[in-house]
Chains A and B, each alone.
Chain A
């Protein structure tokens, strides 16, 4: 069969997954049908609530910039980022240095290895 892939420990079949996805979608739609039916489009119910303030027309003023995403993750992983920032310092001579040091290390390891 062109769609089923066996790994030795299990199998993957994309159409089984799609069938499952379709089944779950039907279940979600059925649950949704229990919701309220008195919602009206294009009325005040559609308006954005922005802490009681007037919503600016330009979307740029109410967007979270990409550079602010995952701020907490960055703070939590600060030591890793301190190391990575030092590594990516933009200096071409440092980049050549990383290459030379890695080359020496790999060369020594391979020479010390068997055969």
Chain B
């Protein structure tokens, strides 16, 4: 049974997507049960996968066969089967996506209750989760493309969920336009790879890729497309609009969809084309990271629309991860190998932190919108008295994202600062300035929304329903666990994930058998 976990991981949310319209027709209880139970089942399966990949194990699952190859009557074997390959790194990503899916589903039960359109909301929600989980689990580049498209198309629909709002339609259109250009580039890259290697299996290509012009073109296309998808500057412009206009439960999941793209980018650079492009690729990641960090936070500081502000912070946080992974890619194989490994561990730690605290921040923003009917901070104030639970959880998430000790955000940033300093002190300086501006920005949000005298227009505001608080509490608990036991998570999960990334030969041989 446990060896089928990768298949169940994809099947469960997909089944949820197809059952959703039926459940909505059966009534409110059936609808809520399907939404929560299918996302909970996905989370449980992801925990099983994480447990199975501990200690450096790699899960390989072939759909409809034992071997990833299909042997023709002539004796030629083609690696054409649909395959999942999960090591410590993608297992962690899968856990993040599943946790956000569950938290977003819990939150949506109450948050979306007063709106219609549940059939398409739930179906698209589960399809987006399926796409993101598939991106993280697949061992085949064409399937990766298919899952990117599944999650993208679902997210276009969900960003424009409130069709009566022109801003939502516009945000979805902009995202769709640039996304489709990116998808075409991805398809060109896949065509080029298939033309050269006669394969699209990740491990098969990793075993054959030796550099050269075509490999470099393909690598560049992957870097561009996936950097765009995860919101790197200057290709980030879709992100604040999309994050601001999507319903809060969806934004929580959108965060992890962008992380799934980040996963793809890192997998391509470390496991499939390691060393291709020389030092240029790591430096591209570092430069994109620094620019995203700095310009993202500069835009965030001056925003007064809460979800838009958080959307810009997402760009800034992605910058930390890009820089850390760039440093890891640059330094891991050289004399600074220890710092390279530390940068990767810090980057992976930050990726998990980001998925959790950013999802929580978006849920808090959703709770504020639910209670006050506005996303404009200028119209909020004094809400700590009427929404103490939301305020408390917001403070924890804001302190974590700002890198305040002792929260988990501080720990991952500390690891990134130390390791990036070994490459160049300027990188650390940019990261620290970004952190200070992040703190300034969230201090503003807290002051504007929760502190100050009570406003007459908000006199009827009450705390949000328990289901919404439960979604936020699940993520808060995760933050506190990461804060209190960083060493447990690092030694068992993050180091394991960094080792898996660096073990290029292990990734190849898990499928190819010691090629």
Interface residues of A (CB under 8 A from B): 1-5, 7-10, 12, 14, 17-18, 21, 57-60, 62-67, 69-70, 73-74, 77, 80-81, 84, 87-88, 92, 95-96, 98-100, 102-103, 106-107, 109-115
Contact = CB atoms under 8 A, between A and B. Distances in A.
Contact of B223 (A87, A96, A106): A106
Given A1-B487, A92-B173, 9 more contacts: A7-B415, A14-B484, A60-B457, A99-B181, A102-B234, A106-B223, A110-B216, A110-B284, A113-B278
Q: Is the interface of A mostly helix, strand, loop or mixed?
A: helix
Given A4-B487, A59-B382, A87-B234, A95 B178 contact: yes
Q: Which of A67, A92, A99, A102 has the most CB atoms of chain B within a 10 A radius of its CB?
A: A99
B177 A92 contact: yes
B477 interface: no
B23 to A, nearest CB: 36
Contacts of A9: 418
B284 A106 contact: yes
Contacts of B216: 110-111, 113, 115
Interface string B405-420: 1100001001100100
Contact of A66 (B219, B221, B224, B444): B444
Contacts, number: 165
B418 A107 contact: no
B455 A60 contact: yes
A87 B380 CA distance: 29
B298 A59 contact: no
B302 A70 contact: yes
B173 A114 contact: no
B299 interface: yes
Interface string B207-236: 000010100110111011001100000110
Interface string B29-49: 000000000000000000000
Given A59-B456, A60-B455, A98-B235, A7 B448 contact: no
Nearest to B382: A59
A77 B295 CA distance: 12
A106 B224 contact: yes
A80 B294 CA distance: 11
Contacts of A112: 280
Contact of A81 (B217, B227, B302, B447): B302
A60 B405 contact: no
A73 B440 CA distance: 11
9 contacts: A2-B485, A17-B406, A58-B455, A59-B453, A60-B456, A96-B178, A96-B181, A113-B279, A115-B211
Given A8-B338, A70-B444, A95 B487 contact: no
Interface string B348-387: 0000000000000000000000000000011011100000
A5 B377 contact: no
Q: Which of A21, A84, A87, A115 has the most CB atoms of chain B within a 10 A radius of its CB?
A: A115
